[in-house]
Amino acid sequence: MAYQNVVTPRFYIDSGLYQYTIGVWTPEDDWRSFIQLNPTARGYKPSNDIIVPRISPIRYIAFLANDWGNYYPSFQPHTEGLIGIDDFEEIINMSGYEGADESDGFCMGIFSDRPDATGMKGVVSDSDSKLGAISIGNYYDMPISPDLELKMSIEMGGVKNIQTKGGGTLSNAMYTKPADWGTTHTYSPTGVQGAWQADAVPNYRNGRRVWELSFSYLSDESIMPVNASTSIIENTNILAGEDFFSVVWNQTLGNRLSFIFQPDNTNNNPDQFAICKFVGDKLQYNQVAHNVYNITLKIEEVW
């Protein structure tokens, strides 16, 4: 069964958003709205397919708020006759190759990195296709499941209740759920494409999801960089690191940048994904044994 259980969480970290934010990459003007990890502003595909430079491993691609059409990744430089994707695995609704049609809503896939590549192109085959965001980057799976004391909550902070002098209650809702991914859509019965709906249908799920997770007895190598500098030492600098700090915390700038969160990396149902940020301004390691630490994370859905 699907439910909303947290098993082994996965963090999808957007390299294009990170590079643009820190100023090491300037995307073309008509690309910028698509690399903000904000699918609510749907538009027609850019004149040129978006290419995100590879400064760190690239192992996933996601097209959010997309129309029906062909969407797939291509490492650059492109080898004639080959897309150059090894071990492609569909996460949801993506075949990963040229010529296949994906359904409306969103599509994601993961694959092996190509260290010899200079970048990753997100290919949108139809010039009339609309989409909200393209997310390209690396992902990190927590090495263990969280402690049993985890907390999950559905917050309704956008609803304010006021009690009148006569004892009645008035409710005002500024928001009740994630913003829709577009205001019009051919196949939607209400004219909108709901957030995280794989078939471009309305989203009827209310509330903001929040997770408070603690992880115990993590090894230092799984959460700390072996080399926190950007030295030229191959495969040991912070950009090539495979630990939580290098892949996740550093490239989200702590609590500044959004990422895609999947509470259970074995469950690819559409309702398992959320665009999130960390809550709090520090990552704290609590040592419990030699080279062994506990950490606590609070993750909040954003839109």
CB 134 within 8 A of CB 63: yes
Asked whether residue 267 carries a pLDDT value surpassing 90, the answer given is yes
User: Could you tell me how far CA 106 lies from the centroid of its own chain?
Assistant: 12
Cα separation of 280 and 288, whole Å?
Answer: 22
Asked whether residue 190 carries a pLDDT value surpassing 70, the answer given is no
Q: Are strands 151-155 and 208-219 parallel, antiparallel or unpaired?
A: antiparallel
Asked whether residue 80 carries a pLDDT value surpassing 60, the answer given is no
Asked whether residue 68 carries a pLDDT value surpassing 80, the answer given is no
pTM above 0.85, yes or no: yes
Instruction: Give me the mean pLDDT over the 25-49 stretch.
Output: 93
**Nearest CA to 271 among 92, 151, 113, 121?**
92
pLDDT of residue 2: 63
Cα separation of 37 and 35, whole Å?
Answer: 6
Position 191 in a domain: yes
Instruction: Give me the mean pLDDT over the 175-193 stretch.
Output: 72
Residue 246 CB: number of other CB atoms within 10 A? 24
* Dihedral sign (CA 225, 231, 236, 237): positive
pLDDT of residue 202: 84
pLDDT of residue 166: 86
Position 299 in a domain: no
Instruction: Quote the percentage of the chain above a pLDDT of 70.
Output: 93
Residue 22 CB: number of other CB atoms within 10 A? 11
Cα separation of 77 and 19, whole Å?
Answer: 19
Alpha helices in 114-250 (DSSP H): 220-223, 244
CB 261 within 8 A of CB 9: yes
Q: How far is CA 46 from CA 117, 137, 153, 192, in A?
A: 22, 19, 38, 22
pLDDT of residue 192: 76
Position 185 in a domain: yes
Asked whether residue 84 carries a pLDDT value surpassing 80, the answer given is no
Position 122 in a domain: yes
Count of domains forming the chain: 1
pLDDT in tens, 194-239: 899 887 788 889 999 999 999 999 999 999 999 888 876 666 899 9
17, two tokens: 């958003």
CB 6 within 8 A of CB 213: yes
Position 232 in a domain: yes
**Domain around 4:** 1-143+179-206+225-266
**Angle formed at CA 216 by CA 274 and CA 111, multiple of 5 degrees:** 45
Position 303 in a domain: no
Instruction: Quote the percentage of the chain above a pLDDT of 90.
Output: 65
Position 115 in a domain: yes
Instruction: Give me the mean pLDDT over the 79-108 stretch.
Output: 80
Q: What residues are paired with 171 via a beta bridge?
A: 161
Q: What is the CA radius of gyration of the chain?
A: 20
Instruction: Give me the mean pLDDT over the 173-180 stretch.
Output: 86
pLDDT of residue 241: 94
188, two tokens: 């939607």
Asked whether residue 184 carries a pLDDT value surpassing 60, the answer given is no
Position 30 in a domain: yes
Residues with Cβ within 8 Å of residue 157, at least 6 apart in sequence: 208
Cα separation of 183 and 100, whole Å?
Answer: 26
Residues with Cβ within 8 Å of residue 262, at least 6 apart in sequence: 9, 10, 11, 12, 272, 273
Q: How confident is the model at residue 67 (pLDDT cuts 50, 70, 90)?
A: confident
Q: Are strands 71-76 and 151-155 parallel, antiparallel or unpaired?
A: unpaired
User: Could you tell me how far CA 67 lies from the centroid of its own chain?
Assistant: 19
Mean pLDDT (the chain, rounded):
90
Cα separation of 219 and 290, whole Å?
Answer: 9
**Nearest CA to 214 among 276, 152, 290, 260?**
152
Asked whether residue 83 carries a pLDDT value surpassing 70, the answer given is no
Asked whether residue 189 carries a pLDDT value surpassing 70, the answer given is no
pLDDT of residue 173: 81
Cα separation of 238 and 109, whole Å?
Answer: 24
Q: How confident is the model at residue 187 (pLDDT cuts 50, 70, 90)?
A: low
